[in-house]
Amino acid sequence: MKEIIQKLAKTADEIYAKIGEVVSVDKDNLTVDVQPLDGSALIDDAYLQADSDNGGMLQIPKVGSLVCVVFINKETAIIANTGEIDAFTIKIKNTSFEISPDKAVLKKDNTILEMDQDGFLFKKENETLKKLMADLIKACKQLKFTTNNGPTISLINIQDFIAVETRFNQFLK
């Protein structure tokens, strides 16, 4: 493994690792600054991901948590392992799954499944399951039937539809 990493880094430098505390996180550049526990100098801009343009797995460590920093040469450090994390993302081509303390989101092209404390969002392009259910319940509440005495004026069980509508509104967002 050491030989593979050194070959990728194109250097003969010795590979070594340090344990340190995350001081700051740069989510735009996908780097962290780490203060080693051994008291050595601050490690600036350790990479969180090997290739951020092509997906893969990304863990955003929490500031103050411990990480393992591996040096592949004298100038380049990568985060090999994390303690506590603030966010986790895995992306394979056009499918991604993101978890944060506030929500979880699964995306596949224009289809999204999102879950948070407010409920679930099921979305495909510009259509959501909540909107579809609202339209269905609205149409059901407006149903009229022809009987021997003529058309009905209103549903006798309209309160049942209102109760179901309320439940959907609390479940979906």
The tokens of 125 are what? 């392009």
pLDDT digits (tens, 9 = 90+) for 85-115: 999 999 999 999 999 999 999 999 999 999 9
| SS3 label, residue 42 | coil
**Above 90 in pLDDT, residue 73?**
no
Q: How far apart are the first and last CA of the chain?
A: 47
Does the reported pTM lie above 0.75?
no
Considering the domain 2-101 in this protein, what is its CATH number? 2.40.50
Q: List the domain boundaries for the chain.
A: 2-101, 120-171
**Structure tokens belonging to residue 117:** 């404390």
Tell me what pLDDT residue 106 has.
98
